[in-house]
Structure 1
Amino acid sequence: MATATENLWVARQRPLITAWIKKQFPWFDAIQQHLLNISNVVPQRFILCFFGFLAIVNAYTMRHCLDIALAHIVTPKRKQIRLRNLDTVKLSSFNLYERMEQHRNGTLLSFSNRRHGKDDTYDWSDQLQTFILISFYVGYVLSHMPSAQLAMRYGGKWVLAIGLTITALLTMLTPAVVKWGGPLALIAIRLLIGFSEGPTYPALSELLSKWVPGKERATLGSLVLSGSQIGISMGNFIAGLLLHRYDWSLIFYYFGICTLLWCIGFAYMCYNTPEENPFIKVREKQYLQKEIGLVERFQHKTTKTPWREIFRNLPMWALISATIQYDWTQLQHAAEVPQFIRDAKQQPLIENVINGLQNQMPYIMNWLLSVLSGVISDLLVNYEIFSVTVMRKLMAFVAAVAPNLYDSLLPCLSCSETSNLFAFCHCAINVLGSYYAGIKLTPLDMSPNFAATLMGIANGIGSISGIVAPFIKHSFAGWAQFKIVHAFLWLISTLLISGDIQPFDQLIPLTSDSNKIE
């Protein structure tokens, strides 16, 4: 009864909203007609995957824009960098231990918003900058599980759209918060930005489980979920161009407006299930119903989540471990970019563009290889050359070996071999693309019914790396031992992940005591 009432309310409100939009924006009819023409040619599942890809791109541009802008917000300080020993390199938020040592030795943590000179730069301590950077991940981790449950109960569309809309608005408010609220207000708004961006992956997993058939899962799933690489690349490149001519605040306005435009298109073109989509052709709907099954909206309102079975599942813990290892590695590579962008600001525009493209090529190649690995995976699985589990393990193993090999060879390079250093770094980032066809897809493989929950658990726990990483001491011996443990856990995780449907993937009806976690 509740489902019918909700569907009736939505059906009544849609014409009223459309009529109001047409009255306020006369050009809406022309855009609507163009969108209808596109939907008649392109399958609806491809349209949803395209908007899902853009969702992650926008999420990552907004996530990392402060990391880039912070170098221009804060008064620059001289830092000594030695390439031979990576442990002495100051990388973004990865040196909190040293900063805490400075604090204990008498360097006080100041929360003042004191400006430096006549320009809009602020004299913030290194410790304070670190707390600003990690505040995003605190909110990001906290919202994963609640948003996963909301996506399962009400569909992923509006959970994703509302989350990114709030993120965009808060991102556009960030410059004003920096200028008028100070560092404490900035920490608060970054925490809220992380909280509102947290639903992105769980909501997308819920949508993909309803729209992407198993035969196309690796290709379309890798295309969507690897949007983070394009987001990092575009964010760094566009931010570098904007910072060459304009104030740092323009970065936040630009990426926020782009996300709001995405939200409008996504809300109009995408739907929770094929059954809800009015633009889908009968042939495509029948194909999806045959491959995925008839999707009943709000079906999770009458079922309970098998928490006990999920947390007792060994492949689930392997997924969590592998996600932690990957997030750690990605944070290491992403932390190196803001320094390059700050140095490039002093170069001519044409050199800035060329250097920007060169610096972002590893991320672009990473994305291309992730899509290619997805295509190869689907071909080998569909032709029954490998099983889904074997294919996922193979791709996960490739993603695990490359960065660990890079970390092993790095101490052997001298300062005169910087070209080899960057070549190894680029190769390591490139090969990481197979992670998406190996590990990131396994929530959809293991449990299509609870894909959002599995993604919320794995990605949420994995994101703790962004909080914990700064507290690890960068002493040579300690860091070397940590890398060995990191490599061992990643390789073991690749052997234990599974691409098979797990026993807990059953929709169990709710009982009177269903609110208890089992």
Structure 2
Amino acid sequence: MKSEEESTVSKPSACLGVRHAQALLLFLAMLIAYGMRVNMSMAIVSMTDTDLENSFDWGSKTQSLILSSFFWGYAVLQVPGGEMAARFGGKVLVLTCIVVNSAVSLLIPIGAYYGGWQMVCACRVIQGLSQGFLVPSMHHLIGKWFPLEEKSRFGTFVHSGGQLGTAVQLMISGFISSYWGWPAIFYVNGTIGAVWAAVYVFLGSSTPQTSKVISDEEKMYILTSLGHVGEQKKLKTPWKAIFTSVPFIALIVAHSGQNWGFWTLMTEIPSYMKQVMGVDIGANGVMSALPYLTMYLLSFPLGYLVDLIQKKKWLSITACRKISNTIGHWGPAVALIGLTYAPAGDATTAVIILCVVVGLNAGQYTGYLLVHIDMAPNFGGTLMGITNCIANFVSILAPLVAGLILTDQTDPDQWRIVFYLSSAVYIVCNLIFIIFGTSERQTWNEPESKDTDDDVTTEKNVEKVV
């Protein structure tokens, strides 16, 4: 329980503080990381264009191997990433992710010339492995840095960087390739990542306690809101309690449903638009980016609205999360069905509906995505690592199922089956989350046994290094 003195600590008078700087840095980290995640999708078009110099004779199977290789490594370090964030702090892991991705991005053109597609695949696997740290570490940092009253807007802002990074990369990669050649795509990404890393080394921090630039007033405001005043011990992860928690299992289901729907859209929509609607959306970077820009823009009013509702105490945090997630899952489910009935050849209507489908999915940012921290802030990174690991295997499964259904990609009826299935997954998974999910603090967040391991001071020592 907070003392009366602690509970009356007021918000700092300054409009901008160190927590705002942390939010901006983490937002940019997500933007840069997701940009490097999808840059190969655009670069490979120029890399395999035989009309251009420095191109490669890679067939469709080879291209598919290159495009999928990132995800071979991505799921591996999700759970260890959450545990490592709790032990070493989120700063060092996010920094490692961006540094490794930037260095490898700079090496990809050389690797392609001298090592062929095999070396490119190896580079992408390494990038995927290091990005396995990203989301669990982000969750850990959000749980440590942002007060309860501001968590929805800051958490949304940070995670939305991924969608903006995807959109920006899709829009500018074609221009970069046209003016400077495809290697410039990787050089620009790598250089921007290196600059961000240099700034984050000096300004970033895993917690307010270890920050060298935060004021005492802002630090106390954050720690009091989160209930982190006093010595923070490293708790042992209650694995049995986590995996036998019904609300947590419901959270896994919600995350898996999100990934099924999102990656069905990400992988199959370009083919549907081209084969059925007669629109080559994949060849148009701006058209490809519009849905993700819509999602990015819609994330902000949702984040502020949830924080306002919490401030006014109109609804409980659990109700807010469930309503947000319903918007994020059931909204796209309905719009996705509508997409299958759009007139063939009507590009404008199809793109508008696609923007609605992807845009409404922004509800996930203030929905299930923050429940990990609500339920157990001490283990937020670990919980995200577990759900993200399982959900990423679902990401691999969804396109495979779509491929089994689509024996004829020009048949609208087969596409309706794919989209109806995705809508059903969205609806059922969110329904399970509504019934069994909760944002209430779990008893296993603070195990009765508060034994620390020998590395209680590890996080502080790592902070001194970086």
Q: TM-score, normalised by structure 1?
A: 0.76
1:216 counterpart letter in structure 2:
E
Q: Deviations over 1:14-64 (max 9, x none)?
A: xxxxxxxxxxxxxxxxxxxxxxxxxx9731111111111111101100000
Counterpart residue number, 1:497: 437
Rounded to whole Å, the distance in 2 between the matches of 1:251 and 1:341 is: 20
| 1:375–1:342 distance in 2 versus 1, CA, 3 Å | closer
Which residue of 409, 428, 433 maps to 2:362? 433
- 1:234 aligns with 168
Q: 1:297, CA displacement in angstroms?
A: 7.8
Q: Aligned partners of 2:185, 2:443: CA distance in 1, in Å?
A: 47
CA distance in 2, matches of 1:163, 1:466: 21
Answering whether residue 118 of structure 2 is matched by residue 184 of structure 1, we say yes
Does the 8 Å CA contact 2:333/2:427 hold for their aligned counterparts?
no
- SS where residue 157 of structure 2 aligns? helix
SS of alignment partner, residue 279 of structure 1: coil
1:142 is paired with a residue whose SS is coil
CA distance in 2, matches of 1:47, 1:179: 40
- Which runs of no fewer than 5 residues in structure 2 stay unpaired? 1-13, 275-279, 407-413, 454-466
2:439 maps to a residue whose letter is G
Match for 2:42 among 60, 68, 72? 68
1:474 match:
405
Where does residue 147 of structure 1 map in the other structure? 81
**Which digits, 9 at most, give the CA deviation of each residue in 1:457-503, with x for residues without a partner?**
11222222443234221332863663354234333244133211122
Task: Note the C-alpha offset of 1:381.
Answer: 1.5
2:228 aligned with 1:294, yes or no? yes
Sequence identity (%): 26
Looking at structure 2, the residues matched to 308 and 146 of structure 1 have their Cα atoms a distance apart, in angstroms, of 17
Q: Distance in 1 between matches of 2:169 and 2:52?
A: 28
Contact in 2 for aligned 1:201/1:456 (Cα 8 Å): yes
Greater C-alpha radius of gyration: 1
Tell me how far 1:428 sits from its aligned partner: 1.4
Partner of residue 262, structure 1: 196
SS at match of 2:446: coil
Question: What is the SS of the residue equivalent to 2:228?
Answer: coil
- The answer to whether the Cα contact below 8 Å between 1:72 and 1:342 also exists between their aligned partners in 2 is no
Q: Which amino acid aligns with 1:226?
A: S
2:314 — aligned with what? 385
Query: In 2, Cα distance between the equivalents of 1:58 and 1:117?
Result: 30
| 1:323 aligned residue | 255
**Letter aligned with residue 491 of structure 1:** N
CA offset digits 1:230-257 (Å, max 9, x no partner): 1111111221221232211111110111
Question: Secondary structure of 1:468's match?
Answer: helix
Q: What residue identity is the alignment partner of 2:422?
A: K
**Number of aligned residue pairs:** 420
Change (3 A) 1:341 1:397: closer
1:500 counterpart SS class: coil
- Asked whether the 8 Å contact 1:56–1:228 carries over to 2, the reply is yes
Please state how far the C-alpha of 1:328 moved relative to its aligned partner. 3.1
Question: Cα distance 1:413–1:176, how it changes in 2: closer, same or farther (>3 A)?
Answer: same
Within a 5 Å distance, the mapping from 1:135-284 to structure 2 comes to 135-284=69-218
State the one-letter code of the partner of 1:447: A
Deviation at 1:341, TM superposition (A): 7.7
Does 1:456 pair with 2:385? yes
Amino acid across the alignment from 1:255: N
Task: Give ranges in structure 1 of 5+ residues lacking alignment.
Answer: 1-39, 76-115, 345-354, 513-518
Between the aligned partners of 2:124 and 2:351, the Cα distance in structure 1 is 32
Displacement of 1:422 in angstroms is: 1.3
TM-score by length of 2: 0.84
CA distance 1:53–1:296, change in 2 (3 Å): farther
Alignment-derived partner of residue 33 in structure 2: 59
**Which residue does 1:101 correspond to in 2?**
none
Query: Pick from 371, 374, 377: which aligns with 2:300?
Result: 371
Q: Per the alignment, do residues 163 and 297 of structure 1 end up closer, same or farther by CA in structure 2, a change over 3 Å counting?
A: farther
Show the counterpart of 1:401. Answer: 330
Aligned to 1:509: 450
Question: Residues 297 and 415 (structure 1 numbering): CA distance in 2 closer, same or farther, change over 3 Å?
Answer: farther
Residue type at the aligned position of 1:72? S
1:85 counterpart residue number: none
Distance change >3 Å, CA 433–CA 487, structure 1 → 2 = closer
Report if the CA contact (8 A) 2:263-2:399 is conserved.
no
Q: Deviations over 1:70-101 (max 9, x none)?
A: 122224xxxxxxxxxxxxxxxxxxxxxxxxxx
Counterpart of 2:62 in structure 1 is: 128
**Offset at residue 157 of structure 1 (A):** 0.6
